Amino acid sequence: MKNQNVKLLALVAVAATAFVACNPLSKMIKRQAEVNYELTPNPVEMHADSIEIAINGSFPEKYFNKKVSATITPVLVYGENSESFAPLQLKGEVSEAEGTTINYEKGGSFSHTAKIPYKDGMEVATVELRATGEYKGKTKDLDPRKVADGTIITPKLVMSSDKGIMGLDKFVKFTLEDNNVVINYLVNNSVVRASELSDDDIKALKANIKEWQKNVKMEFNSMVVDAYASPEGELSKNDNLANERAASGAKAITGILKGAKVETAEGFASLNGKGEDWDGFRKLMTESDIADKELIIRVLETYSDLEKREQEIKNLAATYTEVAKKVLPELRRSQINLIMKHHNLTDEEIKVLVDTKIDSLDVEQMLYAATLYNDDAKKESIYKSVSSVHAADWRGPNNLGYIYLTQNKLADAKAEFEKANGLSADNPIVNNNLGVIERLNGNLDAAMEYYDKASGAGSEVSENKGIIYIIKGDYASATSSYSGVNSFNAALANVLNGNNDIAGIIDGSSDKDEALSYYLKAVAAARAGDKNMLVNNLKTATSKDAALKAKGKNDAEFIKFRDDAEFQAAVN
């Protein structure tokens, strides 16, 4: 019995040796160097918080046994950790396994794409392919093959430069106020009659002049005189007559001002002789009760020649008599507009009221007052007063929310923006600000919904969208959003979209002296293959921020330059 067991074991050993000897996996392992693998991109890259790879490969002729199946798993190795991509399944022509079929005689090619989430630490990594073959239930591992380095994480440089928008005040330093009077004239005459200067509008003007002189906020700004002739008689004479009436009308009102001891500068009055007033004629005719007014209006529409038009109207004898009595006298006039400049409160006056009686300020004055201070605490106090005293105005809570946003008090800012939204539903500015809150809280889709409703709020909306596009890996849209903008993020979007000519974008921005701006220039130079620009910008970046030395040393953007002495000097 003992001898039988020995014989049985010997038979099993021989059978096993024979299996190994004829196992096609052994032959495939011996020839594994003949298998071609290419992984792109190399180095691998992070986009939208993921790393996506594409593998293309080929097997030589008479390599892949018809009964063999294989699993190829891309693995990203970083530090002591690793992350596996979805595996690729391959099989021989008669294998019953799942996967892409590889021809034995001719060989064959394969392709595969896979994605894994990016994790901190993956910026220093390698990607290797781990292949396992299976034949009749037995498996063998091929040697791991390094196929790429990793990982470019340049999109993570995006700055959180989200831009809130203030609700602007409509405060004006002064307003111009019109004060119109009319002086009428006799036919073919430009003399101002005494009776005209005792009309009610002139009396009211004189009374107002006395009051304006007492008010330090009122200033005599200018006078505009528009004078007309009625459409009767010779055209050239009427043009001259209109000019004469402008002069006499200006002289009459200037006399009133001098009598009130109001001094005016040279050029105070602007005189405009307007000639025959056909527009005024049409208007008065339309408003009149003259029986044949439609007939006269038709004449106006039929004849463009002024003299022909006047003759045709005179031909309507009875009607013309009524026109001459009711309409033409009103057209012989000078219209004088005495324009007053009404000054608003001065900045100092507003500041005094802010500290003593802020509720006496109107909403525009109060909102403007906040712009006079650099202290956030003072601004906050004023915007709280706006919300209290002028509770229906959305700008109070919106601007208060803006202050909180700049202080990174996101919960307080959101509460104020929501108050503003309740006062002015779908306000583009408020929608932008609510979008900023959502973006900073990591809610990209919600933020974009708000930005889409913020159209018209300002260029800030497009720039805010650009941040989201960069984070999501949509670099074409990001570049478009930053069109015409000079900023770090605009330059970053361009680099990520394949444009390395970013010096002008950065140098024209407020970010131009930032260490990270020089670092990004170095990245662009590396992508363009310009070692001198890379080294010069990297030296400047690391001199401004020493922490960038360690980053640059490990950054896969510079992997082709790691052995260069000048590069090493910049990062060590």
Confidence of residue 10 (pLDDT cuts 50, 70, 90): very low
Lowest mean pLDDT among 173-187, 275-289, 317-331, 520-534: 317-331
Q: What is the dihedral of CA 554, 555, 558, 561, to 10 degrees?
A: 0
Half-sphere exposure for 185 (CA within 13 Å, toward CB): 26
Segment 422-470, tens digit of pLDDT: 999 999 999 999 999 999 999 999 999 999 999 999 999 999 999 999 9
Fold entry, domain 174-343: 60s Ribosomal Protein L30; Chain: A; (3.30.1330)
pLDDT at 11: 31
pLDDT at 317: 52
Lowest mean pLDDT among 296-300, 423-427, 463-467, 507-511: 296-300
Q: How far apart are CA 466 and CA 496, in angstroms?
A: 12
Looking at residue 187, its amino acid is V
Half-sphere exposure for 465 (CA within 13 Å, toward CB): 25
pLDDT at 293: 78
pLDDT at 316: 67
Q: How far apart are CA 273 and CA 33, in angstroms?
A: 99
Per-residue pLDDT at 22 exceeds 90: no
Confidence of residue 51 (pLDDT cuts 50, 70, 90): very high
Q: How far apart are CA 132 and CA 168, in angstroms?
A: 67
Per-residue pLDDT at 301 exceeds 70: yes
Per-residue pLDDT at 186 exceeds 80: yes
pLDDT at 314: 75
* Alpha-carbon distance values, 34 to 27, 29, 128, 139, 154 (Å): 12, 10, 17, 20, 35
Please give the span between the terminal C-alpha atoms of the chain, in angstroms, as a whole number.
75
Contacting residues for 558 by C-beta, under 8 A, at least 6 apart:
522, 526, 534, 538, 552, 567
Lowest mean pLDDT among 233-237, 273-277, 370-374, 416-420: 233-237
Please give the class, per CATH, of domain 23-152: mainly beta
Per-residue pLDDT at 259 exceeds 60: yes
Domain segments of the chain as ranges: 23-152, 174-343, 390-571
Decide if 79 contacts 121 (C-beta within 8 A): yes
Per-residue pLDDT at 122 exceeds 60: yes
Q: Tokens for 522?
A: 């170095």
Q: How far apart are CA 287 and CA 75, in angstroms?
A: 89
Per-residue pLDDT at 14 exceeds 50: no
pLDDT at 16: 34
User: Average model confidence (pLDDT) for the chain?
Assistant: 92
Confidence of residue 320 (pLDDT cuts 50, 70, 90): confident
pTM over 0.85: no
Please give the class, per CATH, of domain 390-571: mainly alpha
pLDDT at 168: 97
Per-residue pLDDT at 347 exceeds 80: yes
Average pLDDT for 313-325:
74
Segment 354-378, tens digit of pLDDT: 999 999 999 999 999 999 999 999 9
Count the Cβ atoms, other than its own, within 10 Å of residue 525.
Answer: 24
Segment 390-410, tens digit of pLDDT: 999 999 999 999 999 999 999
- The sign of the torsion formed by the CA atoms of 244, 245, 251, 255 equals positive
> What is the SS3 assignment for 298?
helix
Average pLDDT for 315-328:
77
pLDDT at 311: 81
